[in-house]
Structure 1
């Protein structure tokens, strides 16, 4: 009889501890550090963190050339170049 009561008490204590363990929250730590890994990865991938503070214009491309480049870039999506036959590259008669 005493063994059954001991087993019942032990199982009740185990069930109570499992139930109370489910009420334990660990999210305050997770909430405090939420997004820090993404921020750290972005910082690691940034070559020059102060690039936005540079007010010196880009040298080497004038406005007319830049406009033509931008128009050609936009046109490449509306009329893509014809596909190249990769099997005929280097054969006589291929372009």
Structure 2
């Protein structure tokens, strides 16, 4: 029992040495995303600026956040009224079209 406890970890360590190294693709993983994020950032040092935002007051900001959250609510179904205009004309002269 004690011998197995020593042999199994030793074998695992030896087998880990036989593992193939990571391919070159892994070294570049995420580079495109980081480049796109950097190119789309207008002011990269904005997170380091600790001054409060002075262009909007608290009430307006609160209303803006509420409006943002309400934008994700499912809208109420719209009532649709179908008015039968244009359809139901018969090719026989002198007879009226039957209403549906």
Shared fold (TM-score, shorter chain, > 0.5): no
Pairwise TM-score range, normalised by the shorter structure: 0.3 to 0.5
Query: Does 1 or 2 have the higher relative contact order (CA < 8 Å, sep 6+)?
Result: 2
Q: Give the structure with the larger helix fraction.
A: 1
